[in-house]
Amino acid sequence: MIGSLLYLTASRPDILFSVCLCARFQACPKESHLHAVKCIFKYLAYTPTLGLWYPRKSSFDLHTYSDADFGGYKVDRKSTSGTCQFLGNMLISWFSKKQNSVALSTTEPEYIAAGSCCAQVMWMKQQLLDYGFNFEKVPIRCDNTSAICLGKNPVHHSRTKHIDIRYHFIKDHIEKGDIELVFVPTEEQVVDIFTKPLDEQTFSKFRLELGLCEIE
């Protein structure tokens, strides 16, 4: 059941967080986990015509969102990273993943998620360059001001030395003009749909902003 749902997340990003959360219990599932998976199938049964819409006249600017849910996984208190990339209004890439280590502050998981997003952006920039599209200062929208300041000037050594150095490459790409970290209010952070459970109204709002709509 999980395998089928993971396959479906390629076209239904709205179920990505729920499916990935259930997948963590595949090794030793309980009845409650089976019930949760059945709830996902029930949601899909009631929304069979939902799909990603790619309008012909959409703009072609590359922009991204990055976020993390600090200690949101109750089992081991690890954070969940989520990112998504858009070309204009068209969603072209997304992921949700539990981080490898327990974060000691709200800044750390946000910064790690932004680093993962930066790596994805650099790969996409190279692919688009082959088609003649060159993008500079691709915005990565983040709702944590401390993570943004850290990316621009990582001088708080006592607070950041425990963060794996491989994530600090984001500062290099900011200086080169490849990307820029931009603040976005939490209520407009669409990638929250990939990192945490949401109420129905917020979920429906972000689902629409991802480009999911009724396709007859």
Give me the DSSP letters along 40-77: HHHHHHH-TTEEE---TT----EEEEEEEETT--TTT-
CA distances from 169 to 45, 104, 164 (A): 43, 21, 10
What is the rounded CA–CA span in Å between residue 55 and residue 44? 24
Residue 186: CB atoms within 10 Å: 9
Q: For the chain, give every residue range classified as CATH 3.30.420.10.
A: 62-190
Whether the predicted pLDDT of 157 surpasses 60? no
| Closest by CA position to 156, among listed 168, 144, 166 | 168
Mean pLDDT of 184-201: 92
Whether the predicted pLDDT of 5 surpasses 90? yes
3-state secondary structure of 30: coil
3-state secondary structure of 144: coil
| Closest by CA position to 198, among listed 6, 4, 16 | 16
pTM (two decimals): 0.88
- Tens of pLDDT, residue by residue over 31-78, are 998 999 999 999 999 999 999 988 888 888 999 999 998 877 777 888
Residue-wise over 67-95: b if at least 16 C-beta within 10 A, else e? bbbbbbeeeeebbbbbbbbbbbeebebbb
Q: Which CATH number fits domain 62-190: 3.30.420.10, 3.20.20.60, 3.40.190.120, 3.40.710.10?
A: 3.30.420.10
> Looking at 75-84, 92-101, 165-174, 188-197, which range is the least confident one?
165-174
Q: How high is the pLDDT of residue 166?
A: 60
Biggest CA-to-CA distance, the chain: 55
Mean pLDDT for all residues in the chain: 87
- Tens of pLDDT, residue by residue over 81-139, are 999 999 988 999 999 988 887 877 788 888 889 988 999 999 999 999 998 889 999 99
